[in-house]
Amino acid sequence: MLVLSRKLNQAIMIGDDVRIVVVAVDRDTVKLGIEAPRTIPVHRSEVYEEIQRTNRAAAGEPQPPASENARIADLGKGRRPPPQKS
């Protein structure tokens, strides 16, 4: 994972087409503006995960265990996931 520091109104570029700008910072919340072509879907991670679950269910694929979903959610919150049991 690449970690960058940005100040208010500073941006990062992803490829040539996606620009992410720090729009506001308030305590523990950062608002980001995302400029991307309409052909590139942009979702919050929890919305994206729900779309993926719905698509897998519609295709009849097995769902990942709930513990895996919790582990993925923890990654998005900056916490380390619990160690995998073998």
Task: Report residue 77 as tokens.
Answer: 């919150």
What band does 78 get if pLDDT is binned at 50, 70 and 90?
Answer: low
End-to-end distance of the chain based on CA atoms, in angstroms?
25
Question: CA 2: distance to chain centroid?
Answer: 13
- Comparing CA positions, the residue from 21, 50, 52 lying closest to residue 34 is 21
Position with higher pLDDT, 35 vs 75: 35
The pLDDT tens digits for 33-74 are 999 999 999 999 999 999 999 999 998 877 666 656 566 665
CA dist 76 and 83 (Å) reads 16
Q: Could you read off the pLDDT of 5-21 as tens digits, one per residue? A: 999 999 999 999 999 99
Look up the pTM and report it. 0.63
